[in-house]
Amino acid sequence: MTDLQLWLSAMEMGCFFGMLALAYHLIYVGAGFFNFAIGPYAMMGGLCTSWLVITYDLGVWPAAAIGVAATIALAAATELGVVRPVQKRGGGELPALVAVAAVLFAIQQFAGYLFGYPTLPGQSLASFAPVPVGDITVQPSSLLLIVVAVLTFVATAAWIRFSRTGRLLRAVGDSNQAAALLGLPVNRIRLIAFVVAGFVAALAGLLFAPKAGVNSLSGLHWSLSGFLAVVVGGTGSVWAPLLGGMLLGLVEVFLPYYFGGQSHVYGMLLIALLFFAFKPQGLFVRKVRA
């Protein structure tokens, strides 16, 4: 494997982790807590698409549309049917965290029952020829993942900065109570945060699945990876999740190449411990406007 291939693989992993972290970030900004069901959302997007293509011989684009739509519906149901009722009963954010952790495992069990437990090959949305770059050839699925990830971050940054809904998202995230007192549509904005996060997560799972396949147990691992990318990058910028994802992508690819075995697992654990101990707010700190 050449150095260029290593960097390409690290960029792919970084983009995937970054998109998962962006989904975490959107819900954190809009609802004030971390939704650990992000990984299962991504798993559902990729797994549902592959299952429809393999089982029913459906075209990849219609299957992808159904997979993404199902994931968005799942994210909306999490907010409307789980998080909102739990938080209405009081108790702060801890009950919501416990509830979404339960949702994580519920989605995995449901996916195993519905789609089975074997790993399914991911379905690539791209059909163009591989692109030669120097001594390597970039596969269409890899190029699509990187390009879509960058475009997703650009679109999200513009949406949050310039649109009315994006500004409301930041206002609600600064203080749910203050936003409610000002008459802002808190519940609607929180739902939008969940829906957009579900879309981003589904897109991430769908685009990454061709690289490593997807099964009903992928969700937990992906949730942990996305959360760690948020921990590293922080919540102070829309671009922070991408930076955190890229740093983890480097660890994921280069440590096994140079040290072999499961060295990347220990590297991830070390990073988590260092950030939790010395910089729990991440590299970019979110500033709350008074």
Q: Strand, coil or helix: what is 214?
A: strand
Mean per-residue pLDDT, 260-288: 81
Question: Which pLDDT score is estimated for 276?
Answer: 83
Q: Tell me which of 16-30, 135-149, 239-253 is least confident.
A: 135-149
Q: Is-contact 68 188, C-beta < 8 A?
A: no
Q: What is the per-residue pLDDT across 68-90, written as a single tens digit (0 to 9) for each?
A: 999 999 999 999 999 989 888 87
Residues 238 and 22: their CA atoms lie apart, in Å, by 7
CA diameter of the chain? 60
Q: Residue 130: pLDDT band by 50, 70, 90 thresholds?
A: confident
Residues 42 and 235: their CA atoms lie apart, in Å, by 20
- Residue 34 phi, psi (nearest 5): -95, 125
Q: Tell me which of 36-50, 157-171, 182-196, 275-289 is least confident.
A: 275-289
Mean per-residue pLDDT, 240-256: 93
Q: Residue 268: pLDDT band by 50, 70, 90 thresholds?
A: confident
pTM score, whole prediction = 0.93
- Residue 120 phi, psi (nearest 5): -100, 145
Domains and CATH numbers, the chain: 3-122+134-278 (1.10.3470)
Q: Tell me which of 5-14, 119-128, 130-139, 149-158 is least confident.
A: 130-139
Q: Who has greater pLDDT, 175 or 107? A: 107
Angle at which helix 3-31 crosses helix 186-212, to 10 degrees, equals 160
Q: What is the per-residue pLDDT across 36-67, written as a single tens digit (0 to 9) for each?
A: 999 999 999 999 999 999 999 999 999 999 99
Mean per-residue pLDDT, 235-254: 92
Length of the chain: 290
Of all residues in the chain, the percent with pLDDT exceeding 90 is 59
Question: Which pLDDT score is estimated for 2?
Answer: 57
Q: Residue 290: pLDDT band by 50, 70, 90 thresholds?
A: very low
Q: Which of 85, 16, 79, 33 is nearest to 252 (CA)?
A: 16
Task: Encode burial over 178-212: b for 16+ CB neighbours within 10 A, e otherwise.
Answer: ebeeeeeebeebbbbbbbbbbbbbbbbbbbbbbbe
Residue-averaged pLDDT of the chain? 89
Question: Which pLDDT score is estimated for 27?
Answer: 93
Q: Who has greater pLDDT, 210 or 276? A: 210
Question: Which pLDDT score is estimated for 92?
Answer: 64
Q: Is-contact 253 12, C-beta < 8 A?
A: no
Q: What is the per-residue pLDDT across 183-195, written as a single tens digit (0 to 9) for each?
A: 778 889 999 999 9
Mean per-residue pLDDT, 213-228: 94
Residues 184 and 6: their CA atoms lie apart, in Å, by 47
Residues 7 and 136: their CA atoms lie apart, in Å, by 11
Of all residues in the chain, the percent with pLDDT exceeding 70 is 94
Residues 256 and 6: their CA atoms lie apart, in Å, by 11
Report whether pLDDT(213) > 80: yes
Question: Which pLDDT score is estimated for 230?
Answer: 93
